[in-house]
Amino acid sequence: MGSVRPDPSWSRLYRAGGLSALAFVLLVALPVVLVFVAPVPPTEGAAILTYIAANKTLYLTELVCFVGLAVPAMVVFLAAAIALKDVNKTTAAIGGMFGIVSEVIALALGSSPQSLHGGLVLLSASYAAAGTDVQRASLASSADTLIAATNAVSWAGVLTAAAILLLSLVMRRGVFGPPTAALGILTGAAGILSEAFRPLIGPIYMLYGLALPVWVGLVGWRLLQLSRLPQASTSATAIDRH
């Protein structure tokens, strides 16, 4: 069965999606590189508060990158959903909605994996200024609570993975190509399990974390190609399979 050509009138959105995918990959790549060249944040309350005080610029850079990537991700999900709307309107719409909602939740919470949370920066400043062991112990306990919440099951992450899975299922018949669709299906399925069982799987979570930007990069590359479709083209129409 041939692929369904996307609506070329959305070329500017496709271009925005492609550029946003590039921004997403860069925002992921920077903290990943920092993980290998700089000290890794600890996961205990007192230790991480001390770490943040000594490495504030590094910590804030990683935090801004991981939280900030939600913004370009929303554009990528929207552009991919629009590009797939003539293949299967229902699934593309649900996939796009899941992706956008998940990133809005991630921005609202302002936290990310690897013990990164904006609240820990404030606690670190208070910890450094604390004058008694009792005060420091209380602040360390608060930090442990935030870390536990950050590394618990992420429903925003589950929605992101579900969005990838749904959109990739539609991509099997779209113009994104079988390799991108296959990678997305595997990434989405693995992501749902990884996010649901994050507290139990430990470092294995990184496999999903590395596959995610690869899929986004492939989608972005194809969106940039779609942005150059002739405006006079007429997209084919597919029957919406509910």
Domain annotation covers residue 12: yes
- Is the pLDDT score of 237 beyond 50? no
**Domain residues for 174?**
8-226
- Is the pLDDT score of 183 beyond 90? yes
Cβ(68)–Cβ(27) below 8 Å: yes
> HSE-up of 185 (CA within 13 Å, CB side)?
10
Domain annotation covers residue 237: no
Structure tokens given for 136: 């420091």
> HSE-up of 81 (CA within 13 Å, CB side)?
22
Which amino acid is present at 194?
A: S
CA distance to 67, 71, 85, 123, per residue, from 100 (Å): 14, 9, 16, 30
- Is the pLDDT score of 111 beyond 80? no
Q: How many CB atoms lie within 10 A of CB 205?
A: 22
CA distance to 38, 86, 192, per residue, from 117 (Å): 18, 40, 22
| Predicted local confidence at residue 151, as pLDDT | 64
Which amino acid is present at 157?
A: G
pTM over 0.75: yes
Cβ(113)–Cβ(66) below 8 Å: yes
Domain annotation covers residue 108: yes
60-69, 174-183, 189-198, 229-238: lowest mean pLDDT where?
229-238
Of residues 48 and 97, more confidence is placed in: 97
Domain annotation covers residue 238: no
Helical H segments across the chain, by residue range? 11-37, 45-54, 56-68, 70-83, 89-109, 118-129, 133-150, 155-171, 178-196, 198-201, 205-226
Domain annotation covers residue 184: yes
Closest CA relative to residue 219, chosen from 170, 168, 159 = 168
Domains identified in the chain, total number: 1
Domain annotation covers residue 71: yes
Domain annotation covers residue 232: no
| Predicted local confidence at residue 173, as pLDDT | 85
Q: How many CB atoms lie within 10 A of CB 199?
A: 11
- Is the pLDDT score of 238 beyond 50? no
Confidence of residue 3 (pLDDT cuts 50, 70, 90): low
Closest CA relative to residue 96, chosen from 109, 107, 83 = 83
Which residues, 6 or more positions from 37, have their beta carbon under 8 angstroms from its beta carbon? none
pLDDT tens-digit series, residues 30-77: 877 887 777 777 777 788 898 888 888 888 888 888 888 999 999 999
